[in-house]
Structure 1
């Protein structure tokens, strides 16, 4: 038996073993799977959050005790006023609603070898070969000259056709097999097959016929594609994985798994001691640049409005400096087939609860936000018996990654990365543990419901 001073990670399956826990876990998994199946773009994620907020009595704008600020359908901030004044800081959780995908180019439609294709530009860090020869759906919006926004979803309904990227048959791929992965699969060839049948008239090509389909189904012309945001994403719903159904497989769990867990926790604490803030940004997968990313001033402007409404005269810097934050992002647990890229003594395990990353970055901690020891100790205290882990992302000189933690740290607030483990991260079918979901929701709820911080 381990001594009391020896640390051992806790298997969350053991901690959440009762029938009541099982029923609650299954309910959370069903809700999360429905969310992941429905929300495959940042716009769909924001709309889902708006619907959740409305059902909880959050009108848009600033109310007596609630606030809801959507931003261009790409980002959103929710807030609930706490008992303590804003000068004592807020409890802030930040996640991101974007995920790697394929964007259609501004003039996407071409025809080659009697096949109509949509040309794409990939977004975020992907392994390009994973997107070939698989069913893909089209999600997004087309905005016509009259300003009407036309939602587009193709490939999700059972009666819908899907799209796909054609792959080279192995009989002709000898030269391809001798190339590195980066060179063997070119970004310029990630083209979606969208049609093959020519138009009814003799002079009408396959390209013409596809344009006719777009007009008949959605009511827009080719020029309207220039004012569109259309994404190719994996088609199909989230699924349970494993003979025991112990895992959840779905596209976009990085980072919508944390969006779901953070939103669930936010609404689970209706009368917090400290003001709650939930922010979901866009653009994290490409460096958080742009108006809807974490490097924008969206958070600052929103909190300025909150202070003006709920605590006029309070310096905003005082609010920031007193605030505690979580960068709610997923972590990479020990991969059973690729253990050699991990430092096993400092790796997390699937099914052992959400993971603290004290720092991210790469190499000599470049690009890292490093949480201080006092904050980690306080967090350990508020979690109580909830399973959690502490880990790093791979061996020191092998890889690394970045999150929005450093963008929050720039305001002077204490912040740490904390989220569930996800295997096959950035792939079209990511895998998480269903027991980590319930542990993450509990951990995030404990954060939102927490009391004072002893160290300043």
Structure 2
């Protein structure tokens, strides 16, 4: 698939995936069209050589794998990892707040959100809802209001004259979206009633909302920008870009090697959950693929993982925030991410492997390290490397506006990441020769 078509398909995926639940559902659809078969963790498995399979957990994390021609203990595993969640605003369990004639939603901050970017935006709501049916059965479904249903207005400059010189945001007070006018004579729980109507579109027999996991999201569609349209902007590019590239790569891979894609949830809040990288989801599935503890240990010793998460592209207005020799530029290729304190898991050997794959597939690469006087973020890479003992390289597409409600990436880099992962999955390469 050429670069333009790939970017258009990614934009369509991004628009249909406002939450991790929707992203996993849509990636399952992509993989099933390529012959992947869903498995149930609670059932016995009968894996076949070169079989293609999918496992999901919590509806927000996914592992897809190709078993390969031989046991992973012989050739190891080509593993790619990313995460499905993005910083955002999450609706609290009891959501309605009535103030000054309006109904607002009580929200909490999920992850490291650039809060100022959420003001004065058209917002919608999506997520997962669990309900009770008229037959007394508990059921869950995904919901997406799609239409613009919420707005967080800024305070006018006339009432806050110092806003352009100093602005801090109180998330408890200022991040409350307006969703409707308050009718004092109404006896209904307006928002929850409307949510129940949404649920009944999927579950007609739903009688009561028991609980929900709902998130606000930017209702503006992704778009190409720039005089030559070489950039892409949209919400959740960090890190659905990596999820989509990994999913398309394994879907398009024809290989004799065991290849695995893991998409964890909750990376933005520490990864400690049943679907997060700091849980047992991946290890459990890999042990079942390998078949025994002996085979698993041998496979891990021969395996390599790409942890792919967006990289900090150099901002032309703040270039001093980057190390002089490590300033990734959009559309100059994915960046290998390196940190001496192991916030990224890359070492010299794993970096060399990726450089070899990139060279074979004519993909330009860049390198990113943080300034020595600034703290470094992290990824699922070090966590997974620690839990599995697997050699890992951290890479990512240079991005601007990371953790904003809308982010920016290069069209060429999006396609380059896909080609890199596909080559990693399928190239016949000698991973490492012991010295």
In structure 1, what is the equivalent of residue 16 of structure 2? 38
Q: Does 1:426 align with 2:403?
A: yes
Find the aligned partners of 2:375 and 2:432 in 1 and give their Cα distance: 35
Local SS of the residue matching 1:249: strand
Describe the shift of the 1:283–1:35 C-alpha distance in structure 2 as closer, same or farther (beyond 3 A).
Answer: same
Map of 1:67 onto structure 2: 53
Alignment partner of 1:307 out of 290, 293, 302? 290
Shift of 1:313: 6.9
CA distance in 1, matches of 2:173, 2:30: 39
- 2:181 aligns with one of 192, 196, 207: 196
Q: What does residue 320 of structure 1 align with?
A: 300
Q: 2:377: which partner in 1?
A: 401
- Which residue does 1:130 correspond to in 2? 117
Q: Which residue of 2 aligns with 1:10?
A: none
Spell out the pairing of 1:283-432 with structure 2 (5 A cutoff).
283-308=266-291, 314-359=294-339, 365-366=340-341, 368-384=343-359, 385-393=362-370, 395-410=371-386, 411-432=388-409
Q: Which residue of 2 aligns with 1:79?
A: 65
Distance 1:401 1:174, change over 3 A: same
- TM normalised by structure 1 equals 0.85
Q: Which residue of 1 aligns with 2:265?
A: 282
**1:198–1:208 contact (8 Å) kept in structure 2:** no
Aligned equivalents of 2:37, 2:345: Cα separation in 1 = 36
Supply the RMSD in Å over aligned alpha carbons.
2.3
The verdict on how the C-alpha distance between 1:80 and 1:111 changes in structure 2, with shifts beyond 3 A counting, is same
Contact 1:382/1:447 (8 A) holds in 2 = yes
The answer to whether the 8 A contact 1:137-1:235 is kept is yes
Partner of 1:446: 423
**Structure 1 CA distance, aligned partners of 2:197 and 2:26?**
28
How big is the shift at 1:307? 1.6
1:148 pairs, out of 95, 117, 139, with 139
Residues 353-386 of structure 1 show CA distances to partners (whole Å, capped at 9, x for unaligned) of 1110123xxxxx4452442222222322222131
Verify: 1:246 aligned to 2:269, yes or no. Answer: no
Tell me, in whole angstroms, the C-alpha distance in 2 between the residues paired with 1:178 and 1:358: 35
SS at match of 2:64: strand
CA distance in 1, matches of 2:412, 2:165: 42
Contact 2:222/2:234 (8 A) holds in 1: yes
Distance 2:345 2:262 in 1: 21
Summarize the Cα distance change of 1:78–1:67 in structure 2 as closer, same or farther, 3 Å threshold. same
Q: 1:213 to 1:358 in 2, by over 3 A?
A: closer
User: How far 1:408 sits from its partner (Å)?
Assistant: 2.0
Unaligned stretches of 5+ in structure 2? 40-44
Taking the aligned partners of 1:315 and 1:164, their CA distance within structure 2 comes to 54
Deviates more, 1:56-65 or 1:334-343: 56-65
Q: Which moved more, 1:274-283 or 1:137-146?
A: 137-146
Structure 1 position 97, deviation (Å): 0.5
Q: CA deviation at 1:420?
A: 1.0
Count matched residues. 414
Listed one character per residue, the Cα deviations across residues 404-455 of structure 1 (whole Å, up to 9, x for unaligned) are 1111221221101112111111111101110111211111111111322132
Report the TM-score, using the length of structure 2 for normalisation: 0.89
**Alpha-carbon offset, residue 210 of structure 1:** 4.2
Q: Aligned in 2, Cα 1:441/1:214: closer, same or farther, shift over 3 Å?
A: closer
Structure 1 residues 224, 190: closer, same or farther in 2, change over 3 A? farther
